[in-house]
Amino acid sequence: MKTLIVLMLVGLSISSNAQSKFEFPELPYSYDALEVFVDKTTMDIHYNRHHRAYFNNFVKAVNDLNLSGMTLEEIFADVSKYPATIRNNGGGYYNHNLFWEVMSPNGGGKPTGTLMKAIDETFGNFNAFKKEFEAAAAGQFGSGWAWLSVDSNGKLFVSSTPNQDNPLMDVATERGTPILGLDVWEHAYYLHYQNMRGTYAGNFWKVVNWNAVQAKFDKLVK
Protein backbone atom coordinates (compact mmCIF):
# COMPACT_ATOMS: atom_id res chain seq x y z
CA MET A 1 0.00 0.00 0.00
CA LYS A 2 2.85 2.38 0.93
CA THR A 3 4.59 1.57 -2.34
CA LEU A 4 1.42 2.38 -4.27
CA ILE A 5 1.07 5.73 -2.49
CA VAL A 6 4.70 6.61 -3.21
CA LEU A 7 4.28 5.73 -6.87
CA MET A 8 1.11 7.83 -7.06
CA LEU A 9 2.91 10.80 -5.48
CA VAL A 10 5.85 10.44 -7.86
CA GLY A 11 3.44 10.29 -10.77
CA LEU A 12 1.71 13.45 -9.60
CA SER A 13 5.09 15.17 -9.25
CA ILE A 14 6.15 14.20 -12.76
CA SER A 15 2.82 15.36 -14.17
CA SER A 16 3.06 18.66 -12.32
CA ASN A 17 6.63 19.29 -13.52
CA ALA A 18 5.65 18.44 -17.08
CA GLN A 19 2.76 20.87 -17.02
CA SER A 20 4.80 23.68 -15.43
CA LYS A 21 7.58 23.59 -18.04
CA PHE A 22 5.59 25.97 -20.24
CA GLU A 23 4.50 29.04 -18.32
CA PHE A 24 2.13 31.86 -19.11
CA PRO A 25 4.22 35.05 -18.97
CA GLU A 26 3.26 38.13 -17.04
CA LEU A 27 2.65 41.12 -19.28
CA PRO A 28 5.68 43.41 -18.70
CA TYR A 29 3.61 46.61 -18.70
CA SER A 30 0.07 47.78 -18.00
CA TYR A 31 -2.70 47.36 -20.55
CA ASP A 32 -2.73 51.07 -21.31
CA ALA A 33 1.06 51.50 -21.48
CA LEU A 34 1.24 51.18 -25.27
CA GLU A 35 -1.70 53.42 -26.17
CA VAL A 36 0.45 55.35 -28.62
CA PHE A 37 0.23 52.09 -30.59
CA VAL A 38 -2.75 50.06 -29.34
CA ASP A 39 -5.64 50.76 -26.97
CA LYS A 40 -6.11 49.39 -23.45
CA THR A 41 -9.20 47.30 -24.26
CA THR A 42 -7.49 45.53 -27.16
CA MET A 43 -4.44 44.75 -25.02
CA ASP A 44 -6.61 43.33 -22.23
CA ILE A 45 -8.61 41.10 -24.59
CA HIS A 46 -5.56 40.10 -26.62
CA TYR A 47 -3.50 39.04 -23.61
CA ASN A 48 -6.13 37.61 -21.27
CA ARG A 49 -8.36 35.86 -23.80
CA HIS A 50 -6.49 35.11 -27.00
CA HIS A 51 -2.97 34.50 -25.68
CA ARG A 52 -4.15 32.65 -22.57
CA ALA A 53 -6.40 30.41 -24.67
CA TYR A 54 -3.47 29.48 -26.93
CA PHE A 55 -1.38 28.69 -23.86
CA ASN A 56 -4.03 26.57 -22.15
CA ASN A 57 -4.82 24.62 -25.32
CA PHE A 58 -1.13 24.07 -26.07
CA VAL A 59 -0.31 22.77 -22.59
CA LYS A 60 -3.22 20.34 -22.77
CA ALA A 61 -2.14 19.15 -26.22
CA VAL A 62 1.51 18.56 -25.32
CA ASN A 63 0.52 16.62 -22.22
CA ASP A 64 -2.05 14.56 -24.12
CA LEU A 65 0.62 13.69 -26.71
CA ASN A 66 3.47 13.24 -24.20
CA LEU A 67 5.50 16.05 -25.76
CA SER A 68 6.08 17.98 -22.54
CA GLY A 69 9.72 16.89 -22.40
CA MET A 70 10.47 18.78 -25.63
CA THR A 71 11.30 22.43 -26.11
CA LEU A 72 9.17 24.67 -28.30
CA GLU A 73 11.98 24.80 -30.83
CA GLU A 74 12.13 21.00 -31.00
CA ILE A 75 8.39 20.76 -31.46
CA PHE A 76 8.35 23.45 -34.16
CA ALA A 77 11.19 21.75 -36.05
CA ASP A 78 8.85 18.80 -36.73
CA VAL A 79 5.50 20.53 -36.31
CA SER A 80 4.18 19.10 -39.60
CA LYS A 81 4.17 15.67 -37.91
CA TYR A 82 1.80 16.76 -35.15
CA PRO A 83 -1.91 17.57 -35.04
CA ALA A 84 -3.04 21.08 -35.98
CA THR A 85 -3.79 21.83 -32.32
CA ILE A 86 -0.04 21.75 -31.61
CA ARG A 87 0.85 23.94 -34.58
CA ASN A 88 -1.89 26.50 -34.01
CA ASN A 89 -1.76 26.78 -30.24
CA GLY A 90 2.00 26.32 -29.90
CA GLY A 91 2.51 29.04 -32.46
CA GLY A 92 -0.01 31.30 -30.76
CA TYR A 93 1.72 30.80 -27.42
CA TYR A 94 5.27 31.39 -28.71
CA ASN A 95 4.42 34.23 -31.09
CA HIS A 96 2.63 36.27 -28.45
CA ASN A 97 5.41 35.70 -25.91
CA LEU A 98 7.82 37.31 -28.36
CA PHE A 99 5.36 40.07 -29.33
CA TRP A 100 5.03 41.30 -25.73
CA GLU A 101 8.80 41.11 -25.22
CA VAL A 102 9.72 43.29 -28.19
CA MET A 103 7.45 46.19 -27.20
CA SER A 104 7.89 48.77 -24.46
CA PRO A 105 6.26 52.06 -23.43
CA ASN A 106 9.80 53.45 -23.64
CA GLY A 107 10.39 51.95 -27.08
CA GLY A 108 10.74 53.53 -30.47
CA GLY A 109 13.64 55.18 -32.21
CA LYS A 110 16.24 53.09 -33.97
CA PRO A 111 18.42 50.12 -33.10
CA THR A 112 22.14 50.63 -32.58
CA GLY A 113 25.32 48.58 -32.55
CA THR A 114 25.60 45.24 -34.31
CA LEU A 115 21.90 45.03 -35.10
CA MET A 116 21.86 48.38 -36.88
CA LYS A 117 24.97 47.39 -38.80
CA ALA A 118 23.31 44.12 -39.88
CA ILE A 119 20.15 45.98 -40.94
CA ASP A 120 22.20 48.41 -43.04
CA GLU A 121 24.14 45.55 -44.64
CA THR A 122 21.01 43.53 -45.41
CA PHE A 123 18.45 46.15 -46.39
CA GLY A 124 20.55 49.19 -47.29
CA ASN A 125 19.31 51.38 -44.45
CA PHE A 126 16.80 51.45 -41.60
CA ASN A 127 14.02 53.11 -43.61
CA ALA A 128 14.34 50.48 -46.33
CA PHE A 129 14.04 47.77 -43.68
CA LYS A 130 10.92 49.37 -42.20
CA LYS A 131 9.36 49.63 -45.64
CA GLU A 132 9.99 45.92 -46.34
CA PHE A 133 8.69 44.89 -42.92
CA GLU A 134 5.51 46.97 -43.29
CA ALA A 135 4.98 45.52 -46.76
CA ALA A 136 5.22 42.00 -45.30
CA ALA A 137 2.63 42.95 -42.68
CA ALA A 138 0.27 44.55 -45.17
CA GLY A 139 0.73 41.84 -47.78
CA GLN A 140 -0.04 38.88 -45.50
CA PHE A 141 -3.45 37.76 -46.74
CA GLY A 142 -5.83 37.19 -43.87
CA SER A 143 -4.50 36.56 -40.38
CA GLY A 144 -0.82 36.10 -39.68
CA TRP A 145 2.46 37.69 -38.65
CA ALA A 146 5.32 39.78 -40.03
CA TRP A 147 8.83 38.86 -38.88
CA LEU A 148 12.44 39.94 -38.71
CA SER A 149 14.46 36.77 -38.29
CA VAL A 150 18.00 35.42 -38.32
CA ASP A 151 18.72 32.49 -40.63
CA SER A 152 21.13 29.59 -40.04
CA ASN A 153 23.98 31.68 -41.49
CA GLY A 154 23.38 34.56 -39.09
CA LYS A 155 21.78 36.74 -41.76
CA LEU A 156 18.66 38.86 -41.28
CA PHE A 157 15.54 38.44 -43.38
CA VAL A 158 11.96 39.74 -43.38
CA SER A 159 9.05 37.37 -43.97
CA SER A 160 5.41 36.78 -43.13
CA THR A 161 3.53 33.65 -42.09
CA PRO A 162 -0.18 32.79 -42.03
CA ASN A 163 -2.26 32.15 -38.94
CA GLN A 164 0.00 31.33 -35.94
CA ASP A 165 2.88 29.89 -37.94
CA ASN A 166 6.39 31.26 -37.46
CA PRO A 167 9.81 30.86 -39.13
CA LEU A 168 10.94 28.21 -36.64
CA MET A 169 8.38 25.77 -38.01
CA ASP A 170 9.23 23.21 -40.67
CA VAL A 171 6.15 24.39 -42.61
CA ALA A 172 7.57 27.90 -43.07
CA THR A 173 8.81 28.91 -46.53
CA GLU A 174 11.72 30.84 -44.98
CA ARG A 175 13.29 29.26 -41.91
CA GLY A 176 15.05 31.08 -39.10
CA THR A 177 14.72 32.40 -35.56
CA PRO A 178 12.46 35.44 -35.07
CA ILE A 179 13.81 38.44 -33.18
CA LEU A 180 10.93 40.82 -33.98
CA GLY A 181 7.31 40.02 -34.76
CA LEU A 182 4.12 41.94 -35.47
CA ASP A 183 0.71 40.33 -35.00
CA VAL A 184 -1.55 41.15 -37.95
CA TRP A 185 -4.58 39.18 -36.82
CA GLU A 186 -7.57 41.53 -36.69
CA HIS A 187 -8.00 40.93 -32.96
CA ALA A 188 -4.66 42.73 -32.49
CA TYR A 189 -5.78 46.04 -33.96
CA TYR A 190 -9.38 46.18 -35.21
CA LEU A 191 -11.00 48.06 -32.32
CA HIS A 192 -8.67 51.01 -32.87
CA TYR A 193 -7.65 50.78 -36.53
CA GLN A 194 -10.57 48.93 -38.14
CA ASN A 195 -9.28 47.90 -41.61
CA MET A 196 -6.24 50.21 -41.57
CA ARG A 197 -3.61 47.53 -41.09
CA GLY A 198 -0.97 49.69 -42.76
CA THR A 199 -1.42 52.47 -40.21
CA TYR A 200 -1.21 49.92 -37.41
CA ALA A 201 2.04 48.53 -38.83
CA GLY A 202 3.47 52.02 -39.21
CA ASN A 203 2.71 52.89 -35.58
CA PHE A 204 4.44 49.72 -34.38
CA TRP A 205 7.82 51.48 -34.59
CA LYS A 206 6.76 53.83 -31.78
CA VAL A 207 6.89 51.00 -29.24
CA VAL A 208 9.54 48.57 -30.51
CA ASN A 209 11.93 47.67 -27.71
CA TRP A 210 15.20 47.67 -29.67
CA ASN A 211 17.20 46.66 -26.61
CA ALA A 212 15.20 43.43 -26.41
CA VAL A 213 15.55 42.82 -30.16
CA GLN A 214 19.29 43.49 -29.96
CA ALA A 215 19.64 40.98 -27.10
CA LYS A 216 17.89 38.31 -29.17
CA PHE A 217 20.11 39.10 -32.15
CA ASP A 218 23.29 38.91 -30.07
CA LYS A 219 22.40 35.45 -28.74
CA LEU A 220 22.11 34.14 -32.29
CA VAL A 221 25.18 35.67 -33.91
CA LYS A 222 27.86 35.17 -31.25
Kindly list the domain boundaries of the chain, sorted by start residue: 39-222
More confident residue, 222 or 193: 193
Residues ≥6 apart with Cβ < 8 Å to 32: 39, 40, 43
Query: If DSSP codes are grouped into helix, strand and coil, which group holds residue 200?
Result: helix
Q: What's the pLDDT score for residue 188?
A: 97
| pTM score of the predicted model | 0.90
Q: What is the mean pLDDT of residues 120-148?
A: 98
Using CA atoms in the order 186, 188, 190, 194, what is the torsion angle rounded to 10 degrees? Answer: -80
Angle between helices 2-20 and 52-64 (to 10 degrees): 140
pLDDT of residue 21: 84
- What does R_g of the chain's alpha carbons equal in angstroms? 19
Sign of CA dihedral 55, 59, 65, 66: positive
Task: Round the average pLDDT of the chain to a whole number and report it.
Answer: 92
Question: Tell me, what's the pLDDT at 222?
Answer: 79
**Which pLDDT does position 9 carry in this prediction?**
33
Q: State residue 10's pLDDT score.
A: 33
Decide if pLDDT at 5 tops 80: no
Mean predicted confidence (pLDDT) in 166-183: 98
pLDDT, mean of residues 103-127: 98
- Selected from 3.40.50.10140, 3.55.40.20, 3.30.70.120, 3.60.15.10, the CATH number assigned to the domain covering 39-222 reads 3.55.40.20
pLDDT number for residue 44: 98
Strands, DSSP E only, in the chain?
144-150, 156-162, 177-183
Average of per-residue pLDDT across 25-42: 97
Residue 71 CA: distances (Å) to CA of 18, 62, 83, 155, 166: 11, 11, 17, 24, 15
CA separation for the pair 77, 68 (Å, rounded): 15
The pLDDT of 151-179, averaged and rounded, is 98
Q: What is the pLDDT of residues 60-111, one digit of tens each?
A: 999 999 998 999 999 999 999 999 999 999 999 999 999 999 999 999 999 9
